[in-house]
Amino acid sequence: MSNNPSFVLKKVEDVVFEERPIPEIFDDEVLVEVKKTGICGSDVHYLVHGRIGDFVVNNPMVLGHESAGIVSKVGKKVKNVKVGDRVAMEPGATCRICDDCKRGRYELCPDMVFAATPPYDGTLARYYRIPGDLCYKLPDNLSFEDGAMIEPLSVAIHSVANISGFRANQTAVVFGAGPVGLLCMAVARALGASRVIAVDIVPSRLEFAQKYAATETYLPPKPEPNESQNEYSERNAKLMKEQLGIEERGQKAIDLVVEASGAAVSIQTGINIARTGGTFVQLGMGSPQVTIPITTLLVKELNFKGSFRYGPGDYALAIALVAQGKIDLKPLVTHRFKFDDAIDAFKATREGKGADGNPVIKAIISGPDVNPLEH
Ligand SMILES: [Zn+2]
Ligand SMILES: [Zn+2]
């Protein structure tokens, strides 16, 4: 049987629609009819480069991993959802038996089956097969678009609430005001931040950040022609401290730096700007090798941490904060596409601008036969 249109990456810059068989489910699995899928930088990266690090697209792969839909079939052992439930899907199935799974850090599972990470197919199809426990029921006040946005929100929750342990009345700086950076700002605010400073090199992004979740913004200066990267970062941090009244210690110090751009100078500036004993979390994927001011890190006793995807409790907290009205995902959805126009969603995300000339924050692709205007 085949009524499962799928959006497939065959190789670099080569995508097609394919009719694929409707997946068979195991007893602990669920078949979800996908309603909305957000497009993320990693999907575009596979389309343009065919790889991210060691993950290489050698065989055709269905794209997409930020999805929500309706449960259309449940396996015998599934108890948490039933046919007809509206759900957000956590797109990484773990092995459940390895050391990392068992010690509660399943995002590090070496046998992770993650949607649209080669060789595993993603969610841009009519149907997606997933373990039942990775489906989270959407409260009535969350739309399918909200449900799709729970994926990038969980990335932000993981770094700000979980990895960094951010608490009420603390201060945060977020480098990079793309979708995940903006969501990190929103999470910090939802957790009671006293100050959230957005940093980006694009002024229009800072304007949006200020309206959305930041309490202040900072636009870095241009580097001087003969300045080294490290010299620039030190000057940038000094300027930032002066402009924003940031101090090394006390109420005016920065408790948390979230680096969501991946740019070397942001990483260096972030280490310089964080308070003594503060926390720095690396979230953005950029240059694989970066020089950092290690002595500064040492004498300040910074907690320097990596944050990857999401782990136990992150999806549930993300849904709860949206349901309680503490985070609004709607302003981030800027562009909507029919399933048949999926390629245009990728084009818009890649160019950072839609055919309407407006900047893209998040483009959403509807499932086959789903109206893009129905959220
Ligand atoms: Zn994503
Ligand atoms: Zn595992």
Residues 229 and 294 in one domain: yes
* Nearest-ligand number for the alpha carbon of 39: 1
pLDDT tens readout for residues 204-215: 999 999 999 999
Q: For position 356, which CATH number holds?
A: 3.90.180.10
Residues 169 and 295 in one domain: yes
On the question of a cis peptide bond just before residue 119, with omega within 30 degrees of 0, the verdict is yes
* Nearest-ligand number for the alpha carbon of 98: 2
Residue at token pair 């190789």: 11
pLDDT tens readout for residues 261-284: 999 999 999 999 999 999 999 999
* Nearest-ligand number for the alpha carbon of 46: 1
* Nearest-ligand number for the alpha carbon of 103: 2
Closest to 89 in 3D by CA, of 35, 147, 145, 38: 147
- 281 and 161 in contact (C-beta within 8 Å)? no
Residues 130 and 28 in one domain: yes
pLDDT tens readout for residues 354-367: 999 999 999 999 99
Ligand 1 center to residue 51 CA distance, Å? 15
Ligand 2 center to residue 154 CA distance, Å? 19
What number of residues does the chain have? Answer: 375
Phi, psi of 131 (to 5 degrees): -55, 140
Ligand 2 center to residue 95 CA distance, Å? 4
Cβ partners under 8 Å of residue 137, min gap 6: 80, 81, 85, 86, 87
Cβ partners under 8 Å of residue 113, min gap 6: 92, 93, 94, 120
- Domain containing 17 equals 5-137+329-366
Q: For position 168, which CATH number holds?
A: 3.40.50.720
The tokens of 19 are what? 């009719």
* Nearest-ligand number for the alpha carbon of 154: 1
Phi, psi of 109 (to 5 degrees): -55, 125
**What is 23-47 written as a DSSP string?**
PP--TTEEEEEEEEEE--HHHHHHH
**What is the mean pLDDT of the segment spanning 168-190?**
98
Q: Is residue 373 part of a domain?
A: no
pLDDT tens readout for residues 220-241: 999 999 999 999 999 999 999 9
- 2 has a pLDDT exceeding 70: no
What is the predicted pLDDT for the residue at 287? 84
Q: How far apart are CA 316 and CA 120, in angstroms?
A: 24
Q: How far apart are CA 85 and CA 81, in angstroms?
A: 6
Residue where one domain finishes, among candidates 257, 272, 306: 306
Range scoring the smallest mean pLDDT among 40-44, 180-184, 327-331? 40-44
Residues 129 and 222 in one domain: no
What is the predicted pLDDT for the residue at 1? 46
- Give the percent of the chain with pLDDT over 70: 99
pLDDT tens readout for residues 296-354: 999 999 999 999 999 999 999 999 999 999 999 999 999 999 999 999 999 999 999 99
Cα separation of the two ends of the chain: 29
Ligand 1 center to residue 284 CA distance, Å? 12
- Give the percent of the chain with pLDDT over 90: 95
Q: Is residue 374 part of a domain?
A: no
Ligand 1 center to residue 40 CA distance, Å? 5
- 102 has a pLDDT exceeding 80: yes
